[in-house]
Copies of this chain bind each other. A is one copy, B any other.
Amino acid sequence: MNTADLLTITSDDLAITRLGERTVDTPLSDLLGERQETWHYVTETDRVMLDVVQGIANKRDVDVAGLPAFNPGGPRRKLFFEPSEVTAAIVTCGGLCPGLNNVIRGLVLHLGRAYGVKRVLGFRNGFKGLTDGSEPMELTEQSVADIQNRGGTILGTSRGNQDPVVAVDSMVRLGVNILFVIGGDGTLRGASKLADEARARGERIAVVGIPKTIDNDIPWIDRSFGFHTAFAQAAQSIRAAHIEASSTENGVGLVKLMGRHSGFIACYSTLASHDVDFTLIPEVPFDVDVLMSRLKKKVEAQGHAVVVVAEGAGQEHFPASDQTDASGNAKLNDIGALLKKRIIDAFGDEPLSVRYVDPGYEIRSVPANAFDAVYCTRLAQAATHAGMAGFTSMVVGQWSGRMVHLPIALATASRNVVDPHGQLWMNVLETTGQPKQML
């Protein structure tokens, strides 16, 4: 987040929708104990401050009433749904991202073990599975026992939204009370429409989102799941490009990474490998001629060089276009191919070995690493608590280390980007030694 964004948010922006009053006693009391009101349970008045820890500020006599705050994630003592009667359902949408199966598994295990939910369904192939009449999978503790060792999603996925009327018909027919939607901003907007449709009909269906974006571009959360795994895998591709480039005469390694609007994967994998000479991200424009001139100097001095480019970088070097994909995202021009060509041109008759690596699918399909496994578990637990408490049209995420609830409207209203004036980009500049401006 750019710091400035923090100033534009009010408490209204952060308000969460709820299906109704919570009247059901939680079955967690055996696990969490009865008496400690202030401990594990979240109470009605708890808040996670946007920029201050509430309790502390209170005790220091700072007036925090006017400061915006998130609705905190976590278990409630009183629930909206009677757990033993709940049918939950899960759907995964959009491109693959490490951790999808961990979230699915976490939801199934937590719904069953902590709340005693007896029926969990998995819609197949994204939102299509809610409208094409296909039979959902029955998800059990047994059927999800080892799915976290496998990349992808056992439910399948697809792009694009579907008719909310038909989708809610399906859910009503199947008796679904809580729908967990795992997907990106387009998907979450679709989820919001499902919640609207259900509410309009008076159906008791909570729609809880777990935001998914390998680019880490969801605003108001510390990071999206799968991001750690993704940049770790990306660093492997950089390593490959660096090994190749440094083993040959005038070797140039060129690595194209994910990052449509946000260069987080490019930045973090650059820091992880410490072997990159130029990192190009969508947030920082560059002139190709200046880049080529700098690149040639670096190769002269060092014998080789490594360039990392996010797929959304340098789009200003292409003619404008209106094409979009099935998810409604603008089609990107191929900056990797352009740079490869320009590098070959720039070296002309001089010796040159370009090694172009484009590891997109290999990054998207790996299983989650241990950190993302932890994060997916915690997201699944928070989403389960939110659903049982009757929150809807919202997503779960982490803010300053605390689980919080975000309205879908807020989570899809903007994008998290690398701040060109912030600490991360500066660390990248320090690591690559590239100039702050290549314009």
Please name the residue on chain B nearest to A385 by beta carbon: B430
Interface check A162, CB cutoff 8 A: no
A243 touches B151 (CB 8 A): yes
What 1/0 flags go to A421-439 for Cβ under 8 Å of B?
Answer: 1010011011101011100
Residue numbers in B under 8 Å from A431 (CB-CB)? 109, 377, 381
Partner of A374, one of B268, B369, B373: B268
Complex CA distance for A362 and B221, rounded to whole angstroms: 33
What is the size category of the interface that chain A forms with chain B?
35 or more
* Nearest chain B CB to A14 CB, angstrom units: 15
Interface residues of A in 400-439 (CB under 8 A from B): 400-403, 421, 423, 426-427, 429-431, 433, 435-437
Interface check A51, CB cutoff 8 A: yes
Partner of A437, one of B33, B110, B147: B33
What is the copy number of this chain in the assembly? 4
A237 and B423 contact, Cβ closer than 8 Å, known pairs A56-B6, A150-B243, A274-B109: no
Complex CA distance for A303 and B371, rounded to whole angstroms: 29
Residue numbers in B under 8 Å from A36 (CB-CB)? 421
Residue numbers in B under 8 Å from A148 (CB-CB)? 274
* Nearest chain B CB to A15 CB, angstrom units: 19
Interface residues of A in 331-381 (CB under 8 A from B): 355, 357-359, 361-362, 364-366, 369-371, 373-374, 377-378, 381
B377 touches A39 (CB 8 A): no
A423 touches B402 (CB 8 A): yes
Complex CA distance for A53 and B51, rounded to whole angstroms: 6
Complex CA distance for A433 and B40, rounded to whole angstroms: 15
What 1/0 flags go to A233-255 for Cβ under 8 Å of B?
Answer: 00111011101101111000000
A62 touches B59 (CB 8 A): no
* Nearest chain B CB to A339 CB, angstrom units: 16
A271 touches B33 (CB 8 A): no
Candidate in A28, A38, A66, A243 with the most chain B CB atoms within 10 angstroms: A243
Complex CA distance for A201 and B258, rounded to whole angstroms: 54
Residue numbers in B under 8 Å from A378 (CB-CB)? 271, 427
Complex CA distance for A402 and B51, rounded to whole angstroms: 14
* Nearest chain B CB to A24 CB, angstrom units: 18
Interface check A32, CB cutoff 8 A: yes
Interface residues of A in 1-58 (CB under 8 A from B): 3, 6-7, 28, 30-33, 36, 38-40, 51-53, 55-57
Residue numbers in B under 8 Å from A32 (CB-CB)? 426, 429, 436
Residue numbers in B under 8 Å from A274 (CB-CB)? 105-106, 109, 148, 373, 377
A400 and B403 contact, Cβ closer than 8 Å, known pairs A235-B373, A370-B235: no
* Nearest chain B CB to A132 CB, angstrom units: 10
Interface check A149, CB cutoff 8 A: yes
A272 touches B373 (CB 8 A): yes
A364 touches B56 (CB 8 A): no
Interface residues of A in 74-94 (CB under 8 A from B): 74-75
Partner of A401, one of B62, B222, B361, B403: B222
Taking beta carbons and an 8 Å cutoff, which residues of A are in contact with B? 3, 6-7, 28, 30-33, 36, 38-40, 51-53, 55-57, 59-60, 62-64, 66-67, 74-75, 96, 105-106, 109-110, 113-114, 125, 128, 146-153, 156-158, 222, 228, 231-232, 235-237, 239-241, 243-244, 246-249, 268-269, 271-274, 355, 357-359, 361-362, 364-366, 369-371, 373-374, 377-378, 381, 400-403, 421, 423, 426-427, 429-431, 433, 435-437
22 A-B residue pairs with Cβ-Cβ distance under 8 Å, sorted by A, are A7-B59, A31-B436, A32-B429, A32-B436, A40-B421, A40-B429, A96-B244, A114-B433, A125-B249, A128-B249, A151-B243, A152-B246, A156-B246, A158-B249, A235-B370, A272-B370, A362-B362, A369-B369, A377-B431, A381-B427, A402-B423, A403-B423
